[in-house]
Structure 1
Amino acid sequence: MSARTVLLLGDKFVRCALLEEALREEVGKQVSTTAVELSWPIEPFGRVAEVDEASGSEEDVLAHIQGKEIVVTEMAPLTARVFAAADSLRLVVVTRGGPVNVNLEAATRHGVVVCNIPGRNAQAAAEYALGMILAAVRRIAEAHSSLVGGRWRGDLYAYEEAGFELGGSTVGLVGFGAIGRIVARALTALGAQVLVHDPYVTDEEVRAVGAARTSLEELLRSSRVVSLHARLTSETAGLIGRHEIQLMPRGSALVNTARGGLLDYSALIEALESGHLWAAALDVFPEEPLPPDSPLLTMPRVVVSPHIAGATRETAKRAARLAAVQVGRYLRGETLQHVLNPEVMEIRHADRR
């Protein structure tokens, strides 16, 4: 039997070499691979045709997709035009949790199953969120940059300038998926009182990590630190706006390592300038890269980073390994996991009958 054809559209994070190694371990010589490496994250992702957060062009994909049965990618633009040209394609595995670079409707129309890899970077993103919380409330980044710039900031020890401890503070987590749960456990270990708002989890799930479930309004009113961990959907877009920020206690901190669209950044800047918010830590923004004239770059007690919360080597290896598992399940005729368009599977089963 001839080997099944796989197109690996890797990038500078989930490298083609990682994908090839994981496939060899999972399926041996059952597949024949073509590997193409895209430029993300050296070059920022963006919108390509009708899909978002994509790297490369439609032409990059079209040049290699003919005759391929399986595509594995993190960032390649899999558009309606691509699916229309991919007559042999049956499976797409996207090595990320939010596959907005895939036109799912077009995939379904052309009978292509699409799977994703949720939770691949949960540990990395949770650790980074905790680091950003600490950096914000203890002014770590500000102290570092001033010292390397030649200034010894002894004034940061003054009472009015000193940060505050997480132990004994109330910290609110908006969103309680895989990332939020790890953050909650770490915060409770530090002695924080953790509140959670997530309409899709139970009280029992929240209590299992030592936290308490509450409404968004109560969480905002009660928390000295609020950290965002929700997915960006039509329900959560703009979830934290001017009204919600004003509900937070004066002198509190806001952290966003999830998605820029969850938060009104104009309202955030106003609250920081007025002193209503004491600090903020941000890894995501409504426009990425962050414009060089953004006031967030020069504000005191604001920590910013270039959307790298999930950037660990373990995340990249995990993504490759989990993608290879999906390819293996497909080749063996086993039930696929994390299928985003199960109706395609139902049609295939009906056709076999």
Structure 2
Amino acid sequence: MTTPLTLITDCDLPGDAAEGTLRAAGLRAVRAPETSADTLATLGADAEALIVQWHRIDGALMDRLPRLRIISRLGIGYDMIDVAAATERGIAVANTPEYCIEEVAAHTVAMIMAQGRGLAAYDRAVREGVWRAVDARPFAVRPSRTTVSVLGFGRIGSLVARGLRGLGFRVVVADPYAPEQAVRDAGCEPASIDDAIAVADLLTLHVPLTEETRHLIGASALGRMKPGAVIVNTCRGPLVDEGALAEALIDGRIGAAALDVFEVEPLPADSPLRAAPNVLMSPHAAWYSPQALEDLPVHAAGNVIRFLAGDEVPAIVNRAYAIR
């Protein structure tokens, strides 16, 4: 019997922990030197598994990998994989939802507090010789008088919501898939997406990127927000229409933004966000800690190992693949 092969299409993480984990389990592994369709089809001619980080995996590529049975994502989001096409072909798709929950939640709360307490503006002022506590920009909030709307109550969104409640914020949650009682048990208030957007002093996004959620925060949503509200996105860049957000920031209709993710990454030099006021940015780093970096490739490889062994893989996102 031929030892199953896993093709790693792309990975910008240091080291070779994914390959090492697979080989320690008795599997073969190869990493593609580049991601042209011909290269991937040649290297993956007998691959039963793919591990992918950023490369687009569509039905056309799947059709060139006749033995493919599972695609495992190096990360939580899986919008670069055509899940419907995989399901149609009986291919499982799994992500790695557990590896950086604490890190992303902490980064989100840090961004909320930095913008909600004017820390960046204070820092610049002190360095410039200005010593005025009342010059916080865009504002300095009292948590008990401030509403944070959390869109999405999954692993990360629920942790953010609970953390903010612990700090005294009023927290409104919009998630059509979350039981209302679970939201209330966390001390939060359930609401519709439209209502959550409208009441937010600070809005934080924790929903998957789909065709339905792309540009969820666009000109229309921005127009319905409170004047001076703050937007935080540590989830997926295309959830926000960056052009509309930059315009709203420049006009002063939106008070500030804190962004870890962008529509195009790295952020282009001509992005209008670079010239917009009161924008705090980080380089898609919310996931990072040394521990998360160690866990991510091991978790992605673990999905493959368990699946090929016939074991349960809780991280599979398309259970219907098995009943195509």
1:17 aligns with 2:16: yes
CA separation of 1:61/1:129 partners in 2, compared to 1, >3 Å: closer, same or farther?
A: same
CA distance in 2, matches of 1:332, 1:161: 55
Matched residue, 2:115: 136
1:69 is paired with a residue whose SS is strand
CA separation of 1:104/1:197 partners in 2, compared to 1, >3 Å: closer, same or farther?
A: closer
Instruction: Number of aligned residue pairs: give it.
Output: 323
Map of 1:155-174 to 2, 5 A cutoff? 155=132, 157-159=133-135, 161=137, 163-165=139-141, 167-168=143-144, 169-174=146-151
Q: Which runs of 5+ in 2 are unaligned?
A: none
Q: For the pair shown, which has the larger CA radius of gyration, 1 or 2? A: 1
Tell me which of 15, 31, 34 is aligned to 1:35. Answer: 31
CA separation of 1:201/1:344 partners in 2, compared to 1, >3 Å: closer, same or farther?
A: closer
1:158 is paired with a residue whose SS is helix
Tell me which of 246, 252, 259 is aligned to 1:275. Answer: 252
2:261 is paired with a residue whose SS is coil
Q: Is the 8 A contact 2:138 2:278 kept in 1?
A: no
- Shift of residue 329, structure 1, vs aligned partner: 2.2
CA separation of 1:75/1:217 partners in 2, compared to 1, >3 Å: closer, same or farther?
A: closer
Q: Is the 8 A contact 1:241 1:264 kept in 2?
A: yes
CA separation of 1:300/1:290 partners in 2, compared to 1, >3 Å: closer, same or farther?
A: same
Q: Is the 8 A contact 2:9 2:32 kept in 1?
A: yes
Identity of aligned residues (%): 30
Map of 1:182-221 to 2, 5 A cutoff? 182-221=159-198
Q: Which runs of 5+ in 1 are unaligned?
A: 39-55, 348-353
- Shift of residue 105, structure 1, vs aligned partner: 4.7
Of the structure 1 ranges 194-203 and 208-217, higher mean CA displacement relative to structure 2 is found in 208-217
Letter in 1 for 2:256: A
Q: Deviations over 1:127-155 (max 9, x none)?
A: 111121122223333444566xx623434
Q: Deviations over 1:21-44 (max 9, x none)?
A: 4335xxx45212223466xxxxxx
Matched residue, 2:95: 116
Matched residue, 2:43: 64
Matched residue, 2:7: 7
Of the structure 1 ranges 278-287 and 171-180, higher mean CA displacement relative to structure 2 is found in 278-287
Letter in 2 for 1:12: D
1:308 is paired with a residue whose SS is coil
CA distance in 1, matches of 2:170, 2:84: 43
Matched residue, 1:88: 67
RMSD: 2.9
- Shift of residue 274, structure 1, vs aligned partner: 3.3
Q: Is the 8 A contact 2:118 2:136 kept in 1?
A: no
CA separation of 1:154/1:322 partners in 2, compared to 1, >3 Å: closer, same or farther?
A: same
Q: Is the 8 A contact 1:237 1:261 kept in 2?
A: yes
Which of structures 1 and 2 has the larger relative contact order (alpha carbons within 8 angstroms, sep 6+)?
2
Query: If the length of structure 1 is used for normalisation, what is the TM-score?
Result: 0.79
2:231 is paired with a residue whose SS is strand
CA separation of 1:330/1:164 partners in 2, compared to 1, >3 Å: closer, same or farther?
A: same
CA separation of 1:4/1:265 partners in 2, compared to 1, >3 Å: closer, same or farther?
A: closer
Q: Is the 8 A contact 1:281 1:303 kept in 2?
A: yes
Q: Is the 8 A contact 1:172 1:226 kept in 2?
A: yes
Tell me which of 292, 301, 304 is aligned to 1:324. Answer: 301
- Shift of residue 206, structure 1, vs aligned partner: 0.9
CA distance in 2, matches of 1:123, 1:114: 24
- Shift of residue 180, structure 1, vs aligned partner: 0.8
CA separation of 1:219/1:89 partners in 2, compared to 1, >3 Å: closer, same or farther?
A: closer
1:114 is paired with a residue whose SS is strand
CA distance in 1, matches of 2:318, 2:165: 38
1:300 aligns with 2:256: no
